[in-house]
Homo-oligomer: A and B are copies of this chain.
Amino acid sequence: VSTSRLETFADGVFAIAATLLVLDVHAGPPLSDTLLRIWPSYVAYAVSFATIGIIWMNHHYVFSLIARVDRTFLLINVGFLMCVGFIPFPTGLVATHFRGPGLPPAALTYGATLIVTALLFNLLWFYAARRRRLLRPDADLRAVSGVSRSYAIGPVVYAVATVTAFADATAAVILFALITCFYVVESSVFGRSRARPEDQPASE
């Protein structure tokens, strides 16, 4: 029962962080020009919303494998949500400074935020999965090690894209968008067979 509150709080942070992204989309007059010129804001909104959505899907999947929580797990989760709630800040930076001299530091901030988010998500998972500490007794061994491998790659992928920003910030930003696209495709296409046992009865 209690985990449901954890999920309510987490889903609240996910939903708010995603929806606050729209506050960074601004357009002053003359609208006919501005609305086209600010396309980086739209892309940044879409990429960060999709990123938060995919993190939410993974968080959701981890909780389907977990049987119980302890205070350390709750704390790691608060730290993880702290990162998710921070995503609107670097997203706004990248959108605002996309065509200016501020793009390299903006891209580094975005990358650093996502590296730390991915690291904390791994910490959350490995704390729960190590020696099956918090896992359900019936959690499938192969599903668990598949998740471990798949999540461990996250920080590496974001680190590579972030390092690219030192050479070419625009390339780094494109990489960030591509990573999100990859995860979208991966979880819908490749993830389909993996998802089979995950298909769940609806609540009503």
Residues of A within 8 A of B (CB): 1-9, 11-23, 25, 27, 29-32, 35, 45-46, 49-50, 53-54, 56-57, 60, 63-64, 66-72, 74-75, 78-79, 81-82, 85-86, 88-89, 93, 97, 100-102, 104-106, 109, 136, 184, 187-188, 191-192, 195, 198-204
Q: How far is the CB of A92 from chain B (nearest CB, A)?
A: 9
The secondary-structure label for the interface of chain A is helix
Copies in the complex: 4
A selection of 23 A-B contacts at a CB cut-off of 8 Å is: A9-B11, A12-B12, A12-B14, A16-B19, A20-B20, A21-B85, A22-B85, A22-B88, A27-B93, A29-B100, A31-B101, A50-B78, A63-B202, A63-B204, A64-B204, A66-B202, A68-B199, A69-B199, A69-B202, A70-B195, A71-B187, A71-B191, A71-B192
Q: Are B201 and A68 in contact (CB under 8 A)?
A: yes
Q: Are B70 and A2 in contact (CB under 8 A)?
A: no
Q: How far is the CB of A146 from chain B (nearest CB, A)?
A: 14
Separation of A167 and B29 alpha carbons in the complex (Å): 21
The 9 A-B pairs at the shortest CB distance, nearest first, are namely A12-B15, A53-B78, A31-B102, A16-B19, A2-B200, A3-B202, A31-B105, A4-B203, A8-B11
Taking CB as reference atom, which chain B residue is nearest A25? B89
Q: Write out the residue numbers on chain B whose beta carbons fall within 8 Å of the beta carbon of A66.
A: 202
Given A78-B50, A188-B71, A202-B63, does the pair A15, B18 have CB atoms closer than 8 Å? Answer: no
Q: Write out the residue numbers on chain B whose beta carbons fall within 8 Å of the beta carbon of A75.
A: 53, 57, 184, 187-188
Q: How far is the CB of A204 from chain B (nearest CB, A)?
A: 4
Q: How far is the CB of A200 from chain B (nearest CB, A)?
A: 4
Q: Are A31 and B204 in contact (CB under 8 A)?
A: no
Q: Write out the residue numbers on chain B whose beta carbons fall within 8 Å of the beta carbon of A12.
A: 8, 11-12, 14-16, 19
